Amino acid sequence: MYCSTNKASRGFTFLVFIAIAALSLNVAHAKNMKKQNLTELMTHTDSILVGTVSKKTDGFQKGLPYTEVTLDVAQSVKGTHGSSYTFRQFGLIEPKSMGNGRVNLMVTPAGWPTYSKGERVILFLHKPASETGFQTTAGLTQGKFMISGNDVANDINNESLFAGVKINSKLNPAQQDLIKQTGGAYKTDDFVSLVKTAVEEKWIETGVMTNEK
């Protein structure tokens, strides 16, 4: 979406209309996003990474606005990754001047995850989009977990993360305590251990971990 001090052409006006419509759909989708439990998040996840945001920038790719995030990877829980991972998510960090009095207003849509340099995170990332390569987290802000000290929580404080999750496997005491929590911060090591075990032992693929919602 652009703001312009010059008279727009019909073609430019049409592009503005399309951009507004697309952003409106994204915002509405984010506001109506249902709470997803861990089984649902993992089902729609291509990569799970633990690390620290080392760089954030934005720009345009074939006319599409993006925010590019680089993560110093401490652990690849799902997927094979090196010590650094970079991905692009739709939307600018902030409105950007395009020259000639025009400003592009297509920032990250409301309800989508945003990033800050230096923050420690666990990311449940979708597979990159086939056309653009853009990538974001499963469940939007629900799939971005922020690490603070020894604790970790997503944007809705882990609400309903284990609601309806059934695990037909022997769990250690820490994992048993974890899945009994209805919300609130989890111990990072316990949470990562549970997710890593689920990935390595293919709990979802073999029906050990199911969604009973």
Kindly report the CATH number assigned to the domain that includes residue 157: 2.40.50.120
Could you tell me the residue range of the domain that residue 56 belongs to? 2-211
178 pLDDT more than 80: yes
> In one letter, which amino acid is 55?
K
In 3-state terms, what secondary structure has residue 27? helix
Residue 53 — pLDDT band, cuts 50, 70, 90?
very high
- The number of C-alpha atoms within 13 Å of 145 and in the hemisphere containing its C-beta is 28
Which tens digits make up the pLDDT trace of 70-118?
999 999 999 999 999 999 999 999 999 888 888 899 999 999 999 999 9
pLDDT score at 11: 43
Non-local CB neighbours of 163 within 8 Å, separated by 6+ positions: 35, 37, 182, 213
- The rounded distance, in Å, linking the Cα atoms of 9 and 89 is 29
87: its two tokens: 């991905």
Q: 41 and 159 in contact (C-beta within 8 Å)?
A: no
Provide the β-strand partners of residue 15: none
Across the chain, what does the average pLDDT equal?
87
- The number of C-alpha atoms within 13 Å of 186 and in the hemisphere containing its C-beta is 29
Residue 131 burial (10 A CB sphere; 0-12, 13-18, 19+): exposed
53 closest CA partner among 75, 90, 82, 84? 84
What pTM did the predictor assign?
Answer: 0.83
Number of domains in the chain: 1
Residue 128 burial (10 A CB sphere; 0-12, 13-18, 19+): middle
